Structure formats: C-alpha cells, structure tokens
Amino acid sequence: MKRNNEHRIWLAVGLIVALAIAGLMTAHTVRHFERVHRAAEAIRPWMSVPYIARSHHVHARPLFDAIGVEPDRFDRRPIGRIARQQHRPVEELMRELNEAIARERGRNPASP
C-alpha cells in the first residue's frame, strides 16, 4: 500500500512540474506576440535607429541614410540626441524615419 502512495505522490509532482513548464511556455509565447504586435509603435525621441528598424521589421541602413547619419550597427544614440547634434527638430527626424519605413515596406511588400 505504501508503494502505491509513493507512485501517486510522484505522479502529482510530475503533473505539477508539467503544468509549470506549460505555463512558462505560454507566458513566453504571449510576450513574443505582444512584441510583434507592438511593431506599429510610434517612433519616440528615446528610440535608437537600430531599435526602430527591428521593431518595424526593416533594415537600419535606409533609416540611417534618411536622417543623414553614417550607418553603424553599434550606434545606439536616441534620435532625440541625434536631432540635437544635427541642430534639427526631432519631429523632422521622426517624419523622415516614418517616410523611410514606408518606402522600405513598399519595396518589400511581404514585410508586416
């Protein structure tokens, strides 16, 4: 009888572990979908060009070109700082970036 109870305990522990793993995988999937659907997020002054490129599913080079900055994948400056360094309004850079994103999506219609 004691052996039968041990099996039940191990079965319960296994079930709890399996449910915990399934819950973690579900949470990971939900976070992934939230990130993907946030791709249409409006450009903000705190964002860097590589961040904008990733979140809008386009290459960074055309975005750097659009705002007149030498493309550098390690350039993590926020566009607000770039605007100040170029003595331009940040709204102008955001508009140029949005236009570049639209052009890139026009070239690659498969992009979301």
Reported as a single tens digit per residue, the pLDDT across 78-95 is 999 999 999 999 999 999
pLDDT at 37: 65
pLDDT at 109: 55
CB 39: neighbour CB atoms within 10 A?
Answer: 12
pLDDT at 2: 67
- Calculate mean pLDDT across residues 63-80: 92
Integer Cα distance of 30 and 34 in angstroms: 6
**What DSSP string describes 63-98?**
HHHHTT----TT---BHHHHHHHHT--HHHHHHHHH
Phi/psi for 78 (5° steps) reads -65, 150
- Calculate mean pLDDT across residues 50-61: 90
